[in-house]
Amino acid sequence: AHGPSTRLTIGNAVIGPDGFVRPATVVNGMFPGPLIAAQKGDLFNIEVVNQLSDESMFLQTSVHWHGISQNRSNYADGTAFVTQCPITQNHSFLHTFTAENQTGTFWYHSHFSSQYASITRTLHCDGLRGALIIYDPDDPLAHMYDVDDETTVISLADWYHVVSPKLLGVPSIADSMLINGLGRHVGGPPSDLAVINVTPGKRYRLRLIQMSCQSDVKFSIDGHSLTVIEADGQPTEPLVVDQLQILAGQRYSVVLVADQSVRNYWIRGLPNTPGANYIGGVNSAILRYQGAPAVNPITVALPPTKPLQETNLHALGSPGVPGTPGYGNADVNLDLEVSVKAPDFQFYINGITFGNTTLGNHTVPVLLQILSGARQATELLPAGSVYVLEPNKVVEVTIGMQSAIGGPHPIHLHGHAFDVVQSAGSSAYNYVNPVRRDVVSAGHPGQRTVIRFVTDNSGPWFLHCHIDWHLAAGFGVVFAESPADTPAYVDPVPAEWDRLCPIYDNQPNF
């Protein structure tokens, strides 16, 4: 584990996590990247160094700390073209921030818009992903969970072999789902699988992190139920389930009690990719009780009887949703209607697409526009995709999936966790104790999702689909929250900004 003061060197390597060897983007030579472990209140100093060298892939990067609110530090959010320029080859960016009161399960990943999918370079979902955990040494909930160990991370990452020159909008098929960076693919060798070791009788907090670029998973562990206690860095009332559908970007902590007979059990997380056929492929990991032989499990999956339903998940000790209860009763009621247009499968929100997020179609990062004096939505680019929000308002956002095929779409908001007052596919509203999280399913065409949050965090925050090629195909907007008091990078503005941005012709001078 790396502490909050660390250096992440982004480079290229040839790796074969599921037995198929391909070039990839890696962090400190590793995939997934190193675990970043911190304690509540820590100051993070993370230097991201770009040592990418493979000319056939992207040579620029940026790294986002998914779920960290970046209160008064939006400039450290790591979002290329929103809060910063991409980091160019042989340059670095120092991310300095505190996570304030946040604790729980987070992650980091490339947010150079298409370090996943591109129409100009041949790359796809790749290796710049890793876990970020913030522990609370004085966790007031510790007695409730009463776990013997809370350090187990189970990361799920879909993985692709085919390097497609054009993935936009077209669902590509994951070749495997890697658990902690290991997996197998259909027709592949019996390569190593991740093993989670447990001691009989002990209780474990397992931190599930869905690092996929596209696929959701139905996660389960044969022979065990799991008690959900955290969703996306927010404590929940304990909820016993036997299967969790987890969308890209989402995290859960679950308590597992090692109270079954001593043997090996399959940990399952097949990618749910349209058109995929995993017959004969094994994409699993192993739960191994101490004393069991080091062999593959022979357990079978039973049909779930208690699959997770988001509407059953409640924020622990929720003070209620902010603002006046009732649909449409917030200070700001924003309707975002999402559609897809053939033939290129570009996504539109209220008729505007965020654009092909390939280099060259981008404008100056929104933060730099704001720091240069832009205040109104009409002057902020990309035109029509930036919504200005005033401070200290209760904002209710309805996300309507008009014709947005390719779901369920995981919708992620930077800068905030939000209350899910209506889950996709449910007709009920909950203004009392809904789950609070930072990635929510917006479901399928015809469904809608309603979320609320308070504008108490100034900065330009991306709201986007966490399926990477949907983002690359324009599925995003930016909330420019309180532009008048958006904090600038440390004073004086460091030279990095100037060093990092000259790829633009008209770089604002600030």
How far is the C-alpha of 497 from the C-alpha of 510, rounded, in Å?
10
Given the structure tokens 């905030």, which residue do they identify?
416
Residue 169-188 contact track with ligand C2O, rule CB under 6 A, x = bound: --------------------
CB of 66 to ligand C2O, least distance (A): 4
Name the DSSP class of 115: S
Among 44, 46, 66, 365, interactor with ligand C2O by CB under 6 A: 66
Quote the distance between the C-alpha of residue 448 and its chain's center. Answer: 20
CB of 129 to ligand C2O, least distance (A): 9
Q: Is 91 a catalytic residue?
A: no
**Which one of the listed residues 66, 185, 314, 362 is annotated catalytic?**
66
Classify 228 as helix, strand or coil. Answer: strand
Nearer to ligand C2O (CB atom), residue 109 or residue 184: 109
How far is the C-alpha of 57 from the C-alpha of 72, rounded, in Å?
34
Closest among 438, 452, 465 to 349, alpha carbons compared: 465
CB of 438 to ligand C2O, least distance (A): 8
Taking the alpha carbons of 228, 311, 178, 86 in that order, is the dihedral positive or negative?
Answer: negative
**Which one of the listed residues 10, 412, 453, 479 is annotated catalytic?**
412
SS3 content of the chain, % helix, strand, coil (to 5): 5, 40, 55
Is 251 an interacting residue with respect to ligand C2O (CB under 6 A)?
no
Q: Is 66 a catalytic residue?
A: yes
Among 95, 251, 362, 412, interactor with ligand C2O by CB under 6 A: 412
Look up residue 131 and give its amino acid.
A
Residue 11-50 contact track with ligand C2O, rule CB under 6 A, x = bound: ----------------------------------------
Is 452 an interacting residue with respect to ligand C2O (CB under 6 A)?
no
Q: Is 161 a catalytic residue?
A: no
Is 414 an interacting residue with respect to ligand C2O (CB under 6 A)?
yes
Is 416 an interacting residue with respect to ligand C2O (CB under 6 A)?
no
Is 437 an interacting residue with respect to ligand C2O (CB under 6 A)?
no
Q: Kindly report the number of other CB atoms within 10 A of residue 433's CB atom.
A: 18
CB of 370 to ligand C2O, least distance (A): 18
CB of 236 to ligand C2O, least distance (A): 20
Is 64 an interacting residue with respect to ligand C2O (CB under 6 A)?
yes
How far is the C-alpha of 153 from the C-alpha of 36, rounded, in Å?
11
Is 462 an interacting residue with respect to ligand C2O (CB under 6 A)?
yes
**Which one of the listed residues 219, 414, 418, 451 is annotated catalytic?**
414
Classify 319 as helix, strand or coil. Answer: coil
Considering only the stretches 260-268, 319-327, 390-398, 461-469, report the one whose residues sit in contact with ligand C2O under the rule CB under 6 A.
Answer: 461-469
Q: Is 224 a catalytic residue?
A: no
**Which one of the listed residues 111, 185, 224, 416 is annotated catalytic?**
111
- Vertex 127: Cα angle to 121 and 132 (nearest 5): 135
Rounded to 5 degrees, φ, ψ at 161 are -100, -40
Please tell me the count of residues contacting ligand C2O according to CB under 6 A. Answer: 10
**First and final C-alpha spacing in the chain:** 38
Quote the distance between the C-alpha of residue 226 and its chain's center. Answer: 22
Is 464 an interacting residue with respect to ligand C2O (CB under 6 A)?
yes
Q: Kindly report the number of other CB atoms within 10 A of residue 17's CB atom.
A: 23
- Whose CB is nearest to ligand C2O? 66
Alpha helices in 329-392 (DSSP H): 366-371
Considering only the stretches 49-57, 188-196, 397-405, 459-467, report the one whose residues sit in contact with ligand C2O under the rule CB under 6 A.
Answer: 459-467
Look up residue 397 and give its amino acid.
V
User: Edge-to-edge strands of the sheet including 92-98?
Assistant: 22-27, 5-15, 43-50, 92-98
**Which one of the listed residues 44, 46, 58, 64 is annotated catalytic?**
64
Q: What are the structure tokens assigned to 244, written together?
A: 């969790």
Of residues 104-123, those binding ligand C2O (CB under 6 A): 109, 111
Nearer to ligand C2O (CB atom), residue 220 or residue 458: 458
Closest among 25, 20, 78 to 53, alpha carbons compared: 25
Residue 230-249 contact track with ligand C2O, rule CB under 6 A, x = bound: -------------------x
Nearer to ligand C2O (CB atom), residue 66 or residue 416: 66
Answer yes or no: are the C-beta atoms of 157 and 212 closer than 8 Å.
yes
Residues in contact with 39: Cβ distance below 8 Å, sequence separation at least 6, in sequence order? 134, 135, 136, 137
Residues in contact with 47: Cβ distance below 8 Å, sequence separation at least 6, in sequence order? 6, 7, 8, 92, 93, 94, 95
Q: Is 85 a catalytic residue?
A: no
Nearer to ligand C2O (CB atom), residue 132 or residue 226: 132
Considering only the stretches 19-27, 138-146, 351-359, 462-470, report the one whose residues sit in contact with ligand C2O under the rule CB under 6 A.
Answer: 462-470
Residues in touch with ligand C2O (CB under 6 A): 64, 66, 109, 111, 249, 412, 414, 462, 464, 466
- Give the active site residues: 64, 66, 109, 111, 409, 412, 414, 464-467, 470, 475
